[in-house]
Amino acid sequence: MSAFRFQLDPLLRHRQRQEDQCRRDLATLQRQKLDAERRLMVIHHQIEREKQYLATQLQGAVPPGAIRAHAATVGLLHRKAQQIVYELAESARQIEQARTRLLEASKQRKSIARLRELRYEAWQRDARRAEQFEFDDLINSRWAGANAGTGELTNL
């Protein structure tokens, strides 16, 4: 009997590629989110350093320009942090959408893979039946050949 051939293998490979692409897209979005979280952490550390620096400068006479410069720097850092928080919110939304797309792609691939499994099992059953038929035919021909001249039925 010939080897098993699934006619929808090209579709199965296509669905696997789609699923793999969805995985890569999700991984890219997650890396971007981690990068934004790291940038946010750096900004928080910068704000803390600015506060500590100002605290050390507040001993004695403090020039008003230094306080204004500190306030401007901290204000800028807060605006950057707020922008990153918005990026993180958008990233979370995009990640959820990417997960949904990955789940759908996975379902589509698994449905074709399951169909392949079912067809392979049917092919195996047919192959076993054909093999059994050939075996039975061989036994019958041997039996017929052994009893050809006697005219009586005997067991092998």
What pLDDT does 55 receive?
79
Higher pLDDT, 96 or 149: 96
Segment 96-112 mean pLDDT: 97
Q: Which of 114, 119, 99 is nearest to 5 (CA)?
A: 119
Among 45, 43, 36, 42, residue whose Cα is nearest residue 77: 43
**Nearest residue to 109 via CA among 19, 2, 31, 44:** 19
Q: How far apart are the first and last CA of the chain?
A: 28
Return the higher-pLDDT residue of 67 and 38: 38
Between the CA atoms of 141, 146, 149 and 153, what dihedral angle is there, to the nearest 10 degrees?
Answer: -90
Proportion of the chain above pLDDT 90, given as a percent: 68
Cβ(112)–Cβ(11) below 8 Å: yes
pLDDT at 59: 75
Q: Is the pLDDT of residue 151 over 90?
A: no
Stronger pLDDT, 1 or 79, i.e. the higher one: 79
Question: Residue 9's Cα: distance from chain center in Å?
Answer: 20
Domain boundaries, the chain: 9-117
pTM for the model stands at: 0.72
Mean pLDDT of the region 115-124: 96
- As a CATH number, domain 9-117 is 1.10.287.1700
